Amino acid sequence: MPVLTIKTEGGERHVAFTAGQSIREVLDSTSRRVRSGCRGMGACGLCRIQTTTEGLDPPTLAERLHLSSDQLVSGVRLACQVKPKGNLEVTVLNPAPLSKWKTTDHCRHSFMHPRNLPAGPPPGLSTVVEHPYGVAIDLGTTHVSLSFYDLLTGEWITGRHGLNPQAEYGSDVITRLMAACESPELARALRRLALDAVGDAIADIATREGVGPEQVVKVVLGGNTAMLALLSGRNYQQLLQPARWMNCIDCLPEDTAEYSRIWGIHSEAVIDILPPLAGFVGSDLVAGVVATQLTGSGPGSLLIDFGTNSEVALWDGKTLWVTSAAGGPAFEGSGISCGMPAESGAIYQVRLHEGHENENPPHTPGSPDDPEIKIADSICVAPGLILDFNTIDGENPAGFCGSGIVDLIACLVRSGTLTSMGRFSPDVPPSGLTLLNGELKLVLTKKDVDAFQRAKGAVSAAIMVLLSEARMSCGDLRQIFIGGAFGAFLDKACAVDIGLLPDVTHAGIHLCGNTALAGCEGALVSRDFRDCLKMVAAGAKVVNLSEEAGFTDYFLDGLYLNRWPK
């Protein structure tokens, strides 16, 4: 896979890309975006870069209109017009202002296709919108993700994802719910943070892509129940009452006109909030079930939407069993002293250095378009134990995101530095294992390992409880679909080795990216997708883990860092 080298004052960055992508698209996947205002059509002339001309197609008409002959001779080009086929070095001449939002790579959830013709704009608008757009939104605990669509053609335009600013009130949903219950002022603050984040992302898209936010006439939003309740400000207190967890929480907004005003979209825009199923089983899971076509995949199909509140669905061929597991924020890199979200600089891949190659199974990338491992650096964490790692965007390491933590723990178990019970070898000091000891110090402590084991144990127990309800065994599982930002970089072999995932063949494990957002997209642009959501929700059976007698035993078994039994 070719590599784009981005030259900056602070050094060079290397980004692997798929041949055929424009340089603008490659830059948009990083924090080094180039200024733009025309959706990459070459009309604005803003996205100026400098590069060599060897091996590139000649300047396009748009480039000859916006750039002088001297500029073209010196290697100045428009990033949206250049589609390199091989390695290339570029300097960004007109960088975009730094933004908290990153452009989404749509191939991460391109497995979902609308089942019918585009639904088009909603009827009944009092004014004619010549070019109507729609927005799909996944309001997650850690991340907020959006997709922008042309409603006339059903074409995906662009997407954004960024951190949920509500995190300042707690990294997990329970902490945020407790904060909201403390006072009406805190509840309003949490609500406004989420609303403003969505509005900010829409404004970022509109500014950069050269469209007016008032052209947005339809919005579909999904999320876990807590996020939806905090967004509407309704009945979030019920989620702290276990007796309510099996019931549908009435948490949809009574009036969405305020949303339109805050987001700056069309005043008559249809805003469709997908209802949650029950308790902590939100509309994000239902959307993921339909997007992955789980109930059409045959018996023994499992969907795990990893997150702070992980949700699990099992299809036994007749019934869809669903539940949620409060594993904590470890899968999002939070609650871990050396952890961080999956952002620039996060270590997302770890491998044992050569010399341990027999203990390193082949890499199993998240999608066919993923690059092979390109090692960014190595660290010596103990005598004879060297780990190679790779960071998101090739930035200097700043911490480990969820997939990096999975790889790290798998490597430590394989090397004998960590036992299957989660205990360090005797030569590791009580303070923990030092992973980086330079300007930035990263340490993995026993407390960190415990937090990961608890999150893993909760998900394992959820899977086992659903299998028990369906009268199935681990051997009956045929396919596992992984959703969430955590799954975008997850290495299947590492996940199976430490028992995070059941031991099925790698061909049966599908890393699907943001399945919740994909489901919201389907409801936005497909005529019959919404009916499918209602049908799935009506037939699902919710399981409350707190009422299951075997949950504790399953949880304790799930703490071990070894493969699932056959």
DSSP states of 458-481: HHHHHHHHHHHHTT--GGG--EEE
Mean per-residue pLDDT pooled into runs of 10, the chain (566 residues): 83 84 88 83 91 86 93 94 93 87 66 55 78 94 92 90 91 91 96 97 90 94 95 95 86 93 95 92 94 91 90 96 85 85 86 64 39 51 81 85 94 95 94 85 93 94 95 93 83 94 85 92 89 92 88 94 88
| 152 within some domain | yes
Query: Which of 92, 111, 133 delimits the end of a domain?
Result: 92
| 178 within some domain | yes
What was the pLDDT predicted at 117?
57
Total structural domains within the chain: 2
| 35 within some domain | yes
Check whether residue 39 and residue 127 sit in a common domain.
no
Q: Which strands sit side by side in the sheet containing 48-51, from one edge to the other?
A: 11-16, 3-8, 88-92, 48-51, 76-78
- The tokens for 38 are 């025309």
| 372 within some domain | no
Say how far apart CA 37 and CA 436 lie, in whole Å: 41
Check whether residue 188 and residue 262 sit in a common domain.
yes
Query: What amino acid is encoded at 121 in this protein?
Result: P
Say how far apart CA 432 and CA 336 lie, in whole Å: 12
Asked if 373 contacts 350 with a C-beta cutoff of 8 angstroms, the reply is no
What was the pLDDT predicted at 456?
95
Check whether residue 222 and residue 267 sit in a common domain.
yes
What was the pLDDT predicted at 382?
67
The CATH code of the domain that includes 211 is 3.30.420.480
What was the pLDDT predicted at 99?
80
Query: What amino acid is encoded at 479 in this protein?
Result: Q
| 147 within some domain | yes
Q: What is the pLDDT of residues 501-552, one digit of tens each?
A: 998 876 799 998 899 999 999 999 988 888 899 999 999 999 988 888 889 9
What was the pLDDT predicted at 450?
95
Domain housing 21: 3-92
Check whether residue 108 and residue 251 sit in a common domain.
yes
Which stretches does DSSP call E strand in 253-295?
270-273
Check whether residue 124 and residue 257 sit in a common domain.
yes
Check whether residue 28 and residue 140 sit in a common domain.
no
Say how far apart CA 229 and CA 251 lie, in whole Å: 5
Tokens 């669905």 locate to 313
Find, among 424, 337, 330, the residue nearest to 381 by Cα.
Answer: 424
- Please work out, in degrees rounded to the nearest 5, the angle formed at the alpha carbon of residue 210 by the alpha carbons of 207 and 211: 95
| 342 within some domain | no
Query: Which of 92, 127, 157 delimits the end of a domain?
Result: 92
Say how far apart CA 310 and CA 304 lie, in whole Å: 7
Query: Which of 63, 92, 121 delimits the end of a domain?
Result: 92
Question: What is the DSSP pairing of strand 509-511 with strand 479-483?
Answer: parallel
Check whether residue 111 and residue 237 sit in a common domain.
yes
The CATH code of the domain that includes 86 is 3.10.20.30
What is this structure's pTM? 0.84
**3-state SS, one letter per residue, for 356-412:** CHHHCCCCCCCCCCCCCCCCCEEEEEECCEEEEEEEHHHCCCCEECHHHHHHHHHHH
Asked if 24 contacts 34 with a C-beta cutoff of 8 angstroms, the reply is yes
Check whether residue 86 and residue 106 sit in a common domain.
no
What was the pLDDT predicted at 142?
86
| 461 within some domain | no
Taking residue 181's Cβ as centre, other Cβ atoms within 10 Å add up to 14
Check whether residue 21 and residue 112 sit in a common domain.
no
| 321 within some domain | no
Check whether residue 120 and residue 73 sit in a common domain.
no
Check whether residue 143 and residue 179 sit in a common domain.
yes
Check whether residue 83 and residue 204 sit in a common domain.
no
